[in-house]
Chain A
């Protein structure tokens, strides 16, 4: 090692150590939030908040299959008991009447504050008479024997009214004391985790706990039944489960694919170099770049997304190129001058890539901004290590096989296919025709296109969701205000407008936090509708005429009404320990000083939001405070916004690259010659993907950016060759390009076979794109000197 290289080595080792520490301590996540905006509007923030933290994001749907119905029910009850004892779950529902008694007591105590029937008219003589008559009818009904004990305290039927208000949720059928699917083939549980859906570590712990507790609960359930022979199986679904699985899949894929592509590239390079030392040395810039990339992201964002990690794999294919250029081209006679002759071209290629990826940095998608930062820092690190560290590590007597033959072969091949450059005009024309005719279906504008969740898992989720009867969380009315009281009042106003829509069947139903916790104003109004004791006694006496109840029997009612007139209003804190608290917390949100109430809508299958009177009902009820939200449409629109944002940013990056080349090369003609093959490659790949029936997503756009980044190196080498007759040996230049290209195609080609859609989109774009970029660069390069003369 030369003395001059020592400072560089010390800096490198020190930075590598720091990067390792950062990488080990970083937090990794895999939820969809990589594709959710950083600086959203108020509505978008609410949407993102719901997707990340909302109650829907905390639900884990559990199915138990196999065995017989009794064994499944026993396992469900045992699992429910075990999970409820675990602190990780806010609630576990499986049909058991858990906490029903607390709920009932609370509702009964506050029935005159909660019942929507409580109005001044309800307590007039006529109103009382009608309510009493209807209670008598209820006594005559089959439910009479359950209701008769309520009559002395609640002859006006407020408790039934409240149960009707709250209990319009469809619940799964019961089999052997536990929830069952409608087809009776599996037992069902719904667990709500304490950890937010975006807390992948917390979700993973919860999922593991459920698995372990099921393992413990299943044998007992199986043993208790004699007939069941098949084993019980556990299935789980939900946003948290998905992100845990996605993280696992991405981890596994990244592992598998990086090992696979590393091995393939190693075999390729070993075959070419015939030197083990060269092989090991070649991977030093790659590893340094990947470490630097992850560390930079961890430092810059505090959180590393799974797909960023997946991107690390792709960097292998690109950063290995630098050492290939070094080893092969440094071998030529003017090898000592590598730094002067070749480094500027590599540096320019690297800067081109950096400018391209820098365009992603301002993206509002954290995932994309991370990709940008990762690529920039990774490429810069790999190039700097190649330039300043690698030469110091090359041992004396280091040599690799002569690769000129490869270059000669490639040049011969190029000569054979040589055609007039003008003919290449056919490529953009054909690609243009293909893209134009498919313009309607060119882009996939649905967020789910990026979802790492497999089709089978999505089907399982849909099945469990339908079984449980979970409301479709698609349509929401969001009411905002300065404090809790204001949003509850607005929610009540909106509710009044929605009731007629429910009655006429336009809506199936809706939920509202005001049902569990009416606004203080409404509670006070209800208190004020209760007559004073003397008045009530008088009116009740009159109302009872003709009815088979005597006033003496209703003394408890008179007492309770008087108590209700002076009872403290129901507050959120009073709900603690009941299932009503869960209901309120799910629907009443606080974001800083801003409060929001969510009113999820249940809609019939034929519901069309656009033409629905829901909009006018909402805008009349609470103008400016309430909005109707179509969560799926909003999410897709959000994604669509980002798709066009990425396209704009990529174009800006492209313009940046042209500007950079103009400054460095100082010749529009040369810039054109460098840029043309890249444009041709991108257009061809887009046309090929579309012809193969793929819909393009953001990741394809990123892939195209990578084509430009990788391809610019090839184009620049050909450009240098054309402009500097003494720039080096032609066959060696060609050989290094061919080998670098092979490494890139192998690296990205492996990705194309990934089960993670994001990675396969990248791979299937970049692998053919890089190959085409080299071919077009060579074809456009113009006259190459005759190889037989150049090959010394």
Chain B
């Protein structure tokens, strides 16, 4: 009995070691570094987006679309045009949302549950690998020309809300961001063409 338990432990350890041996070279792949530095070199971005949310309480996904504007290193604006105009500006750790006549201010420090939703996109756009790794366990898949980032929150409290975030792209262009929540709900944001400045 005791012997078999030790075997089990050894197997677990071994498999963990193998797993980490598999992920580590990938995580530190030259392609990730190349991707990050390519992203870091873009001072601005202005693209369209289409977002679908798949919620358990709803029979169909809800859809919204608009534009994303980015200025390095920490200003991100999500300008929703449909179904209702709404703007969301992240700057210096504070989110300012404008709906109709009302403005709401959200301090990320006060609402840590919002951090993964925002920091995943901002840090990726900024090519800020260090910032990504502060919040997530980062896994890189594919190559620079056709890549996928898998982000898992490090903080167990955040992980209880957000299971995983998948970001896909080609070279320095991001194509989609998919956020899978722990309760099974998910949202998929497809990023369209560069609108240009």
Q: Which residues of A lie under 8 Å from residue B55 when comparing CB positions? A: 139, 148
Report Cα–Cα, A167/B102, bound state, in Å. Answer: 8
B78 touches A142 (CB 8 A): yes
Residues of A with C-beta under 8 A to B46: none
Task: Give, as a whole number of angstroms, the nearest-CB distance from B46 to chain A.
Answer: 18
A303 adjacent to chain B (CB < 8 Å): no
Task: A135 to B106: give the CA distance in the assembly, Å.
Answer: 20
Per the bound structure, the CA–CA distance linking A144 and B179 in Å amounts to 13
List the one stretch of B56-64, B126-134, B168-176 in contact with chain A: B56-64
| Cβ of A366 under 8 Å from chain B | no
Q: How far is the CA of A146 from the CA of B99 in the complex (A)?
A: 15
Q: State which of A140, A142, A171 has its C-beta within 8 Å of the C-beta of B62.
A: A140
A136-B82 Cα distance, complex, nearest whole Å = 12
Choice from A97, A142, A548 contacting B110 with Cβ under 8 Å: A97
Check A666 for interface membership: any CB of B closer than 8 A.
Answer: no
Closest B residue, CB atoms, query A97: B110
* B158 vs chain A, min Cβ distance (A): 13
Given known pairs A136-B62, A167-B102, the reply for A553 and B57 (CB within 8 Å) is yes
Q: How far is the CB of A552 from chain B (nearest CB, A)?
A: 10
**Residues from 158 to 192 in A contacting B, C-beta threshold 8 Å:** 164, 167-168, 171, 173-177
CB–CB B62/A177 < 8 A: no
Interface size class of B (residues with CB under 8 A): 20 to 34
Which parts of B66-120 form the interface with A (CB within 8 Å)? 78, 80, 83-84, 86, 88, 92, 94, 97, 99, 102, 104-105, 107, 109-110, 114, 117
Verify if B31 is at the interface (C-beta below 8 Å from A). Answer: no
Beta-carbon contact of B109 and A177 below 8 Å: yes
Q: Known interface pairs A95-B107, A174-B107, A174-B110. Does A142 touch B86 (Cβ–Cβ under 8 Å)?
A: yes
Query: Is B94 a contact partner of A145 (Cβ separation < 8 A)?
Result: no
Within 8 A of B (CB), among A672-706: none
Chain B residues in 8 Å Cβ range of A164: 102
Contact in complex: B62, A168 (CB < 8 Å): no
- Given A140-B63, A142-B78, are A168 and B102 also a contact pair (CB < 8 Å)? yes
A146 to B84, CA, bound (A): 17
Residues of B within 8 A of A225 (CB): none
**A140 touching B51, Cβ below 8 Å:** yes
B141 within 8 A of A: no
Nearest CB in chain B: distance from A167 CB, A? 7
Q: Is B194 an interface residue (CB 8 A)?
A: no
B57→A148 contact, CB < 8 A: yes
Once the chains bind, are A167 and B62 in contact (CB under 8 Å)? no
Does residue B185 face the partner (Cβ distance < 8 Å to A)? yes
A302 to chain B: closest CB distance in Å?
A: 48
**What 7 A-B pairs have minimum CB-CB distances, sorted nearest first?**
A548-B60, A174-B107, A140-B64, A140-B62, A548-B59, A548-B58, A137-B83
CB pairs A–B below 8 angstroms (23 shown): A97-B110, A137-B84, A139-B53, A139-B55, A139-B62, A140-B62, A141-B84, A141-B86, A141-B99, A142-B78, A143-B97, A143-B104, A144-B62, A145-B187, A146-B114, A148-B57, A151-B57, A167-B104, A174-B109, A177-B109, A548-B58, A549-B58, A549-B59
**Given A139-B53, A152-B57, A549-B59; 19 other pairs, CB 8 A cutoff:** A95-B107, A136-B58, A136-B62, A140-B51, A140-B80, A141-B64, A141-B80, A141-B84, A142-B78, A142-B97, A143-B99, A144-B62, A145-B117, A145-B185, A148-B57, A148-B185, A151-B57, A175-B92, A177-B107
